[in-house]
Structures are given as C-alpha cells and as structure tokens.
Amino acid sequence: MAGTLEFISKHRVTPNTSILDVDNIFTDGYENYVLVMNNWTTYGSTQTSIYLRMINTSGTAISSNYKRTQQRLYAHGSSTLSVDQSATFINLAPCDRDDETVSGVGRLYSPKSSTRPTLFIGEFRAEWGGGFQGYKSKGAHAVHEEARGFRLYEPNTRPFASGSVSVYGEK
C-alpha cells in the first residue's frame, strides 16, 4: 500500500556532542523516509540551529550544492522567510537550552537515487525567547548523488544536551 510507514531505527544524541550521524540507513527497499525528531536541546543559553547534511556513499557529510528555504512563524513577533540558493546545509530549526525544546517531522525524498536530487520538507515546533515558534523548512541537495545517510548537527559549538530521531521508510 502506498504511503505505509515502516519503523527502521531510533537514534539518540550523545550528550555534549554537536553531531549525530545516522549512517547506512537508506536502502533499496524504500524510496522516501520520514524523520521524527523529539526534544532537541543544547547546553548554554545562546541560540543555535539544527542543520542537516546528506552523507554520501563514501561516508562523508556533503557540504555543498544545497538550496533551502525556511519560513519562521513567531507567536510573539513578526514572521520571516529566508532563502539560500547556494547553501552548505538545510536549516531545520533553532535549538536552545533544556527548557526550550525542538520537535518536528521531516521527509526525505529519494535520498538513495543517483538520478534525482534529494528533497527535504519538514515542520518543527520550537520554544525559544519566551514564546512558541513554528518552522517550515524545505531544501534540496541539488545534484544527482546517492546518499547512504544524513547528519544532524549544530554549527555554533553549543553541544546537544538531548534529542532523538526516529527513522521510518515509506513504501
């Protein structure tokens, strides 16, 4: 049946690290994948973000050829839209200290294909700056390159305190 999700694995952040690699996860058995992220937090009190990069078949996180947009819907201020046509990552959502968590769901389309670009669409909820925020993130690894996994990381030396990602394959 089209659209059926099958649980593949769950991965937890190792506290005090800035990278979570989910490697060797993509197979020929699934075309698309769903990522369910829960309770991501960081140490410290300065905002950072959760970024995504694809991992190529050699095991290297790919750091070029991304395009991304992110719509920020602030409950306590003005909403914004950012676009980057030559990005080095896909921005998922901001992340902050342990009392301000990030959770959400994203889809990766065709990451194992070497004939199509990988697309990502996600929706996240964050508590930050005294209010709730919603994020709609879209991105593409804009070259035709097979990926075997993905990396979630924060770029500002604000290590993760907690967080998990469950991966589902879509039939």
* AA letter at 24: N
**pLDDT over 70 percentage in the chain:** 95
CA atoms of 111 and 23, how far apart (whole Å):
12
How far the first Cα of the chain sits from its last, in Å, is: 7
Question: Starting at the edge strand that comes first in sequence, how are the strands of the sheet with 160-170 ordered?
Answer: 5-12, 160-170, 32-42, 102-109, 118-128, 131-141, 66-74, 80-87
Using pLDDT thresholds of 50, 70 and 90, give the confidence band for residue 8.
very high
- CATH number of the 5-170 domain: 2.60.120
Condensed to tens digits (0 to 9), the pLDDT of residues 118-168 reads 999 999 988 766 677 889 999 999 999 999 999 999 988 888 999 999 999
User: What pLDDT score does 95 carry?
Assistant: 78
* Neighbouring residues of 78: CB distance < 8 A, sequence distance ≥ 6: none
Beta bridge partners of 85: none
**pTM for this model (two decimals):** 0.92
CA atoms of 126 and 47, how far apart (whole Å):
11
User: What's the number of CA atoms in the CB half-sphere (13 Å) around residue 6?
Assistant: 13
- C-alpha Rg value of the chain to the nearest Å: 15
